[in-house]
Chains A and B, each alone.
Chain A
């Protein structure tokens, strides 16, 4: 076995080695880690942390990008770079909350439908089909119209529909696993259903969930940006990338940096999650996801 005299690599090291050979995945991971770090440390790393609030400096409005203001200034003279970094917080918070609500619900429903079959499957999967037919953006607009437009309501509206994708994914994996020998062995030994679902089947879904989650994060951030672009996001003066693009758009093309650069920040973080997700998919060799 150990012809070369070396110990075999542990599983984790093998995974890391394969992951690090995939350049897009590494770039994605770096972008995601950078975004999260910047967002967490925003008050310490931004040049003008006070510009996150109601600061007005009309003498310096519409300044082009420069050494002082890397992304230029907006229509009331605030530093766009500082606000974009703080805006990452809202985007990431949105992703965390939406996925934090949607994934547990989606996974549990998928496990139940896939394992029990019968009427449980019919009820859960048909409801899933119905929910899948509603576009999340339209749902968010409807919720905002009925309740008041705010970040919380937008997050709720997206989460309300997002679980369906996870249900479908886990459902198909569970159906494949249900007739596997290790599941049948556990059943023969008299294991409880909860044990089988959460200790036998669920661990085999984790890699698929991880891939799906990182891909989803990018999409949720994009939908969140679209919602705030439409005026359904967080209230000013708290910075939010979608809102910054929207208010900057009225100054196109003269003050292009006011919308283009926050737009690039959205692109940056959404692309990071997508690259990471693609890398994880290659790594785990999961085929079902998207």
Chain B
């Protein structure tokens, strides 16, 4: 920072000194910034800075007001009334009204992509009504306990601006490259393949910390050597969360960076295809779990927190603490193989992982070396990510063992259980276990239908017990989110909702 300011000081005057610029690398491109279409981590990362929602989420997973200043939930949890802030404005200065909320919701349902699936079957079209300029009512079609947790995913667009640029596709073309939001930042420039720059909106209605971040530059690169070079040249202020341990160590050695590290609700599993031989046998699945060297994986290959059930401990109230959790025990693994229907013969097994991901290849090799001792005949199957999503569509093409990260898309255990284990959600990369268990389906449905948190917790604990007994997913670790951050940059706190921790309105510069 200081060097840059001195170098260009003569040309730009003292203005340069007042700018707090954060430069961060992302490992994938920004797919879209249209709040009706966002789906992955970079999409959400841009959207949470450019758009605001009625509510947002803090690091404890609690809902906190953003555009809404207050809300009331009816006794039977079927109706929620939000009251908007009187001073809330879009970036063009016009006030945010209840009509904009209705418009954003209807547009989301019409386009039916991105976060739309969170509301499908829960709130029907026409059931979000503006009672006056500042009051909007959501009427639910059924009791759906996780509803409130999904509200932050509904980002509010400026209906007047979208209407003016409607085109023939509901403004999708225009919003793919432009912003009509009320977020703390404005889109400055976006070169799809390489970078995005956003600038602070000086007229933002909401609260900003002292000494806020004026500009954020995201540089798209997943190349470790490039990240190190950017850091060495003084350009990088914050790394992505997907760098290798060596890169983090190299950055810290430079003296300008510190490591921030927090446990998250994102889990890393070995998903075992329960519909394909030999992992259709519970004893084979348990043998694979016993043959997993958890300590080496968590301590050497990919640092993370231990997990004892498929639900990360970040969901403390719902986590079943009575389950002991899997452990590495080759003798027990051999006993399980002996009990299986495939005992006494070479057992073919495919290990799938994302091609080009070094730590997944290391884990796959570690699994192979242990499983070969038990008589398995291993085929490694690295596939690029777009192919993983394809082969996950049928149980015949899904490999026996799959290394998959899955984190909640809304801060509720329902997001973890429904998407991964309910038979209605089968056929995606998140459900490569192919668990078709009516008992689990019923429990997930029962938890959705009750508003009583204690009852939900009891149900979720039962589900965890069934899943660990069936051992369809071997929980490897809960991801620790790690960033190398400039010593001057403050404000990072992990949030159990996708990319909400990269809302730079929460960050500040301390130098």
Contact A58-B365, Cβ < 8 Å, known A237-B380, A250-B225, A250-B358? no
Contact B384 A235, beta carbon cutoff 8 Å: no
| Contact (Cβ within 8 A) B366 A231 | no
Q: Tell me whether A250 and B224 are in contact (CB under 8 A).
A: yes
Given contacts A58-B296, A76-B362, A249-B225, contact A231 B384 (CB under 8 A): yes
Q: Which residue of A lies closest to B225 (CB)?
A: A252
Check B361 for interface membership: any CB of A closer than 8 A.
yes
User: 13 interchain pairs (CB within 8 A)?
Assistant: A53-B369, A75-B358, A231-B356, A235-B380, A235-B381, A236-B361, A236-B380, A237-B380, A250-B244, A250-B358, A252-B225, A254-B246, A254-B250
Decide yes or no whether B409 CB sits under 8 A from chain A: no
Chain B residues, CB < 8 A from A70: none
Of all chain B residues, the one with the shortest Cβ separation from A230 is B356
Number of interface residues of B (CB under 8 A): 26
A55 within 8 A of B: yes
A236 engages B382 (CB within 8 Å): yes
Cβ contacts under 8 Å, A149 to chain B? 355, 384
CA distance A251 to B244 in the complex (A): 9
A264 CB to nearest B CB, Å: 19
8 more A-B residue pairs beyond the given contacts A58-B300, A247-B361, with a C-beta to C-beta distance below 8 A? A56-B366, A76-B366, A149-B384, A237-B380, A250-B223, A250-B224, A254-B246, A255-B246
Instruction: Name the contact of B225 in the complex, choosing from A55, A58, A247, A253 (C-beta under 8 A).
Output: A253
A58 to B379, CA, bound (A): 21
Expressed in whole angstroms, the Cα–Cα distance for A235 and B381 within the complex equals 7
B-contact 0/1 string along A208-238, CB 8 Å cutoff:
0000000000000000000000010001110
Determine if A40 is an interface residue (Cβ-Cβ < 8 Å): no
Measured in the bound complex, the distance between the Cα atoms of B226 and A253 in whole Å is 11
Cα(A53)–Cα(B300), bound, Å: 20
Give residues 15-44 of A contacting B (CB, 8 Å).
none
A56: contacting residue among B223, B246, B250, B365, CB under 8 A: B365
Count A/B pairs, Cβ under 8 Å.
56
Cα(A1)–Cα(B368), bound, Å: 72
B225 touches A54 (CB 8 A): no
Q: Are B364 and A236 in contact (CB under 8 A)?
A: yes
**A237-B365 contact given A54-B372, A254-B246, A254-B250, CB 8 Å threshold:** yes
Closest to B366 in A: A56
Q: Are A236 and B365 in contact (CB under 8 A)?
A: yes
* Contact B382 A54, beta carbon cutoff 8 Å: no
User: What 1/0 flags go to B86-127 for Cβ under 8 Å of A?
Assistant: 000000000000000000000000000000000000000000
**Which residues on B sit within 8 Å (CB–CB) of A61?**
300
What's the least CB distance linking A140 to chain B, in Å?
A: 15
> How many angstroms from the CA of A236 to the CA of B379 in the assembled complex?
9
Give Cα A240–Cα B16 distance, bound, in whole angstroms: 51
Task: Note all chain B residues with C-beta closer than 8 A to A76.
Answer: 362, 365-366
Complex CA distance for A92 and B267, rounded to whole angstroms:
43
Nearest CB in chain B: distance from A249 CB, A: 7
B248 → chain A closest CB, angstroms? 12
> Known: A55-B369, A76-B365, A249-B225. Is A235-B358 also a contact (CB below 8 A)?
no
Measured in the bound complex, the distance between the Cα atoms of B365 and A213 in whole Å is 37
A75 to chain B, nearest CB (A): 6
Residues of A within 8 A of B300 (CB): 58, 61
Asked whether any CB of chain A lies closer than 8 Å to the CB of B5, the reply is no
What are the residues of chain A within 8 A of B355 when measuring CB–CB?
Answer: 149, 231
Top 8 closest pairs, chain A to chain B, by CB:
A54-B368, A54-B369, A250-B224, A58-B300, A56-B366, A56-B369, A54-B365, A252-B225
Q: How far is the CA of A54 from the CA of B384 in the complex (A)?
A: 21
A262 to B366, CA, bound (A): 23
Distance A255 CA – B250 CA, assembled complex (angstroms): 12
Closest Cβ–Cβ distance, residue B72 to chain A (whole Å): 53
A231, A236, A237: which has the most chain B beta carbons within 10 Å? A236
**CA separation between A229 and B224, bound complex, in Å?**
16
* List of B residues within 8 angstroms of A235 by Cβ: 379-382
- Contact digits for B291-320, partner A, Cβ 8 Å, 1 yes 0 no: 000001000110000000000000000000
B348 to chain A, nearest CB (A): 15
Closest chain B residue to A247, Cβ basis: B358
List the A residue with the shortest CB-CB distance to B297.
Answer: A58
Q: How far is the CA of A231 from the CA of B301 in the complex (A)?
A: 21
Q: From known contacts A247-B361, A251-B246, A253-B225, infer whether A58 and B356 are also in contact, taking CB-CB under 8 Å.
A: no
Any A CB within 8 A of the CB of B151: no
Decide if A58 touches B364 in the complex (CB within 8 Å): no
Q: How far is the CA of A252 from the CA of B229 in the complex (A)?
A: 11
Given the complex, which residues of A lie within 8 Å of B372, measured CB to CB? Answer: 53-54
- The distance in angstroms between the C-alpha atoms of A149 and B223, with both chains bound, is 22
